[in-house]
Structure 1
């Protein structure tokens, strides 16, 4: 990663970055397998990282809870019922979260 790449990455977390740029960057962060969709494996990885499940098995959600959470995400966001989230579906869900722009930032 070059210094310019680093600056581009960090500029996304600025208060002045447009919402569209923040949404695109968030989608790319959550798309662990880089297939331009958020699948079960991507959502599982996100949830594990948010709950500390990767590093400490004691904190990992039980399988039933993980499945229920992913199913709830799909019920809310998967508009075409293909069990994955496209960028458009992700963007639609983010549009319902008015605090996304202010929370997706780094303050120094």
Structure 2
């Protein structure tokens, strides 16, 4: 894979490095990871797209209960299939890198958890988050889920409108020192 450098001009590498939290060498390493996802179809082509299914099989995402949401958030696919171009993949890896600031990670976590994509976290969104974190169906009885949702809203919903704005979510996350540990992918 030493030929990855030949797929980028010096200016492209510089631009990728400036637009991400990666060095030029790390950008090349991310490209190698991208090619490894679907070697038959990518064939060292930085313009190719990799299916969401293949990206979700990466060891770093395979066990993440939000892997499909992560792909959808970073995908620029016109047909909304969650496939990722190299630039999409680079953006995703950059946000999940150790060098990315906490504020950026919080912003993308909010997008991942906002299942109905209305820029608010309502009871349905939070129930989906809890369900995925606890193993989906049957993990909590209905009354237990309702009590948990009530407790979350009491703690986090500062304006009592039964939904969390980005600012309220950010406030809650600021109290969670472990958040950064759960929102990263190492190269």
* TM-score, normalising length: structure 2: 0.53
Deviation of residue 6 (structure 1)? 1.2
Find the counterpart in structure 2 of residue 85 from structure 1. Answer: 164
Q: Aligned partners of 1:99 and 1:51: how far apart in 2?
A: 17
Gaps of 5+ in 2: 1-83
Q: Aligned partners of 2:182 and 2:133: how far apart in 1?
A: 15
Q: Aligned partners of 1:99 and 1:66: how far apart in 2?
A: 23
Deviation of residue 61 (structure 1)? 1.0
Find the counterpart in structure 1 of residue 143 from structure 2. Answer: 64
What SS does the aligned partner of 1:23 have? helix
What SS does the aligned partner of 1:80 have? coil
Q: Provide the alpha-carbon RMSD of the alignment.
A: 1.2
Offset from partner CA, 1:20-67 (integer Å, 9 cap, x none):
1000000000000000000011011111111112xxx4x431100000
Match of 2:134 among 28, 51, 56: 51
Q: Aligned partners of 2:182 and 2:128: how far apart in 1?
A: 21
Q: Which has the larger radius of gyration?
A: 2
Find the counterpart in structure 2 of residue 20 from structure 1. Answer: 103
- Bigger relative CO (Cα 8 Å, ≥ 6 apart): 1
- Cα contact 1:32–1:42 (8 A) shared by 2: yes
Find the counterpart in structure 1 of residue 178 from structure 2. Answer: 99
Gaps of 5+ in 1: none
Would you tell me which structure has more strand in proportion to its own residues?
2
- Cα contact 1:15–1:102 (8 A) shared by 2: no
Deviating above 4 A after TM superposition, structure 1's stretches of 4 or more consecutive aligned residues are none
Mapping of residues 4-43 of structure 1, within 5 Å: 4-43=87-126
Offset from partner CA, 1:58-84 (integer Å, 9 cap, x none):
x43110000011111111100000000
* TM-score, normalising length: structure 1: 0.90
